[in-house]
Chains A and B, each alone.
Chain A
Amino acid sequence: MSETSSSAHDPEPPIRLNLPPLSPSLFDAEPSELQQPNGSAVRNSSDPSSPTSSGYAAEQGSSTATIVTQVEEVLHNEIQEITIDDPQPLSHSSRLPGKRHSDEDDASISWRRRKKHFFVLSHSGKPIYSRYGDEHKLAGFSATLQAIISFVENGGDHVKLVRAGKHQVVFLVKGPIYLVCISCTEEPYESLRGQLELFHGQIIVILTKSVNRCFEKNPKFDMTPLLGGTDLVFSSLVHSFSWNPATFLHAYTCLPLAYATRQAASAILHDVTDSGVLFAILMCRHKVISLVGAQKASLHPDDMLLLANFVMSSESFRQDFRSIFSCLLATVQCFGISDDTYLMLLTTSSDAFYHLKDCRISIETVLVKSNVLSEAQRSLVDGGMRVEDLPPLPYSGSSHLGQHRLPSDSPERLREPDCGIGGAAGLWHFIYRSIYLDQYISSEFSSPINTPKQQKRLYRAYQKLFASMHDKGLGPHKTQFRRDENYGNYFFVLGSVEGIVLLCWVTQDFELYAAFDPLADKALAIKTCNRVCQWVKDVENEIFLLGVSPFSW
């Protein structure tokens, strides 16, 4: 689609993007999708206090008045127990475009052994999407899923989760669109459900809520042709469920930049928001450089994730970076500015195409004269915070977790020299989420978390911890925790998960998730968390977008 093509602003024939293969280099720290680690890798069977070790059933049922069925033996289409031997990891270059294994169906052993399935079907039981296999060949399976959902609905109830051996079947009904995830990854129910929510959000980003009206008018409505060519968008989204913390943190992350540089970018964007543009978002890969919103408008971090995923997985955009296209069919315009950097302009008006184009030109003109783009490139190369660079904590009276303060001749000094692996006191990695800003910062991966498999394992461990922290039904009593009476803060130690000690610290302002060497001293680890928080505070001007809060809560 060329920039001047008038069809791009014409809402009538749905704009379909022809989306060829995803370039794996798009994402930071992206493990190959084919390198699914063995399911056992994320199981924490060694940890009886794990938040997922007991069912969610009772809690869910009582709090929401919907049922959760626990079925030990499987459904109509039984899913076999898994002894995984996923295909050999392929190199990036041999990665196939779009959906893989489209020859499979529910009779294939290989299909049944897949660790995580995603299905989308219509309320009449017609298949819309399956992560693996051919949708049409899975029509019977799709009908079975619909029958299960409908059967429960007929009883005035809703099915949310079915457990079948190691498998969880998670259902999400969104009007006429049914979404189902079947997984043996042992991710918490809440995480899987959140992933289905994002999946649905991605459909709406592409097709808008008009799909609901189409189903109302015609239950036979087939939306698959409207999704033609978007396989990559969905496979990229599913992939991000195992590498992008934004998918469970519900927060966005910024590209580290000097405060002045980000201010300059914001000022440039700000000029267009007075002219009917709701949001102007300047992004570099999946990280935000700056975003400016009109007053009283709100944009959820999840929506930013979905928009960015859509742009990033659209090869037409990648190949010809100066091309433009619309998603949300004409209300969002994306413009490539330079390699990796793109601008998204959101408006409520569907015929603002030319206006947006003018906005883009004026923004681009100023941007290229500024140092923003070159600074962004440099930041990409340099990376963000590294645990090795964690500065020592100067003594401060406001230390948050003071109970375990160590004498100056503590073993810390003895330990410091052997921290060639990771950072101080065996710190391997951390994620800091600012609740007020809806932003997070994740440290760069470094040794020993340096393979995609280990990164995914760590990611899943964080996700599990996050879910347990935010699940009121389960409550923190499942984990070892201590309440700091002086500050009203919660501090959690989630024992060793597959050789990683995780710590989580939640206050009203932030959440800190940190991963440590399993031999790390607990007291030291706690102290290190303090240092991390101080460090984040010290550099918050560079790692967060401050001042403007586009989110109205």
Chain B
Amino acid sequence: MASRRRMLLKVIILGDSGVGKTSLMNQYVNRKFSNQYKATIGADFLTKEVQFEDRLFTLQIWDTAGQERFQSLGVAFYRGADCCVLVYDVNVMKSFDNLNHWREEFLIQASPSDPENFPFVVLGNKIDVDGGNSRVVSEKKAKAWCASKGNIPYFETSAKEGFNVEDAFQCIAKNALKNEPEEEMYLPDTIEVGGGGRQQRSTGCEC
């Protein structure tokens, strides 16, 4: 029964403002792309059902606001995440440099039980821009960084053209699943009786 049940995986997308987090998500879920930039306010949420190795599961994708002024959800936002996707723009060096900051921020806020092995995936987005001529972060450099952080899987994507998006999310799903802990035995409590706090409640009859 347990293996048959559908699982839900919480995936968080982080990265600087304007690197294309929302566009990647939209391309993946809705197969749509818009050139117009609309800043995400707070957060946006999308779901997608995925089949993987005969198992059906649901990705609950948490698209965050890259702009700092909207980052006010804090710990609760990161809690219980199954995978974290770090996105940068291959044409903007600073967005790549900030990956470190995003990764650390996530590990601090989410404080996963095994931070060394928590599944991250890095996406270098907007490889289509200007035919690749405006690119400032080389694939080699990105891969080196990923290798130094415990072999984080790396994908180069174009949300606009839909390039590699599906593959990237397949990998995200796979890694999120891998991280799923073995199901523990559920040990119920016994009931509490006597001096519990419940007894005072609700009579409200002082009138």
Contacts and interface: CB of A to CB of B under 8 A. Distances in A.
Interface of A: 11-14, 122-127, 136-144, 146-147, 149-151, 153-154, 194, 207-210, 214, 217-222, 224-226, 228, 250, 278, 296-300, 302-303, 328-332, 346, 348-350, 435, 438, 469-470, 490, 506, 508, 511, 551-553
A150 B80 contact: no
Given A139-B47, A139-B60, A296 B194 contact: yes
Given A14-B186, A126-B8, A470 B204 contact: yes
Contacts of B8: 126-127, 136, 139, 222
Nearest to A205: B191
A404 B207 CA distance: 23
A209 B188 CA distance: 7
B203 A250 contact: yes
14 contacts: A11-B187, A124-B80, A125-B79, A127-B8, A141-B45, A150-B75, A151-B73, A153-B76, A154-B74, A210-B188, A228-B5, A250-B202, A297-B194, A435-B205
Contact of A228 (B1, B7, B77, B193): B1
Contacts of B181: 218, 220
Nearest to B5: A225
The 5 lowest CB-CB distance pairs between A and B, nearest first, are A124-B80, A150-B76, A329-B188, A219-B80, A140-B45
Nearest to A220: B80
Interface in B170-198: 180-181, 184-191, 193-194, 196, 198
Contacts of B72: 151, 154
A331 B81 contact: no
A298 B193 contact: yes
B133 interface: no
Contacts of B190: 208, 328, 331, 348-350
Given A140-B60, A226-B186, A298-B193, A219 B79 contact: yes
A278 B193 contact: yes
A124 B10 contact: yes
Interface of B: 1-2, 5-8, 10, 42-43, 45-47, 49, 58, 60, 62, 72-77, 79-82, 113, 180-181, 184-191, 193-194, 196, 198-205, 207
Contact of A140 (B47, B185, B194, B204): B47
B73 A225 contact: no
B186 A210 contact: yes
B67 to A, nearest CB: 16
A470 B49 CA distance: 46
B76 A143 contact: no
For the complex, would chain B's binding face be called helix, strand, loop or mixed by DSSP majority?
Answer: loop
Contact of A144 (B45, B81, B180, B205): B45
Contact of A137 (B47, B184, B193, B199): B47
B172 to A, nearest CB: 15
Contacts of B186: 14, 207, 210, 214, 226
Given A122-B80, A136-B8, A219-B79, A346 B46 contact: no
Given A126-B10, A222-B8, A508-B205, 18 more contacts: A125-B76, A125-B80, A140-B45, A143-B43, A154-B72, A209-B189, A210-B189, A218-B184, A220-B81, A220-B180, A220-B181, A221-B80, A297-B194, A298-B199, A328-B190, A331-B190, A435-B203, A553-B200
Contacts of A435: 203, 205
A209 to B, nearest CB: 5
A154 B60 contact: no
Contacts of B180: 220
A139 B45 CA distance: 8
A136 B188 contact: no
A218 B113 contact: yes
B194 A124 contact: no
Contacts of A218: 113, 181, 184
B2 to A, nearest CB: 6
A147 B199 contact: no
- Most A Cβ at <10 Å: residue of B1, B60, B185: B60
Given A123-B76, A150-B76, A228-B1, A330 B60 contact: no
B62 A143 contact: yes
B45 A136 contact: no
A86 to B, nearest CB: 26
Contact of A348 (B82, B185, B191): B191
Tell which of B60, B186, B187, B191 has the most Cβ of chain A within 10 Å.
B191
Contacts of A208: 188-191
B84 to A, nearest CB: 13
A137 B188 CA distance: 30
Contact of A126 (B1, B60, B77, B191): B60
B93 to A, nearest CB: 31
Contacts of B188: 11, 14, 207-208, 210, 328-330, 350
A218 to B, nearest CB: 6
A53 B33 CA distance: 46
Nearest to B57: A136
Contact of B60 (A143, A278, A303, A551): A143
B46 A147 contact: no
A146 B60 contact: no
Contact of B79 (A123, A299, A330, A331): A123
Given A208-B189, A225-B5, A136 B203 contact: no
B45 A143 contact: yes
A302 B81 CA distance: 35
Nearest to A127: B8
- The interface centre, meaning the residue of A122, A149, A225 with most chain B CB atoms within 10 A of its CB, is A225
B202 A150 contact: no
A127 B60 CA distance: 10
Contacts of B203: 250, 435, 438, 553
A295 to B, nearest CB: 10
Given A143-B60, A331-B190, A553-B199, A12 B204 contact: no
Contact of A146 (B76, B187, B193): B76
A12 B74 contact: no
Nearest to B56: A136
Contacts of B10: 124-126, 220
A35 B60 CA distance: 34
Contact of A147 (B58, B77, B198): B77
Contact of B42 (A136, A147, A207): A147
A3 to B, nearest CB: 21
Contacts of A124: 10, 76, 79-81
Contacts of A228: 1, 5
A250 B204 CA distance: 10
Contacts of B45: 139-141, 143-144, 147
A438 B47 CA distance: 47
A154 B73 contact: yes
Contacts of B73: 147, 150-151, 154
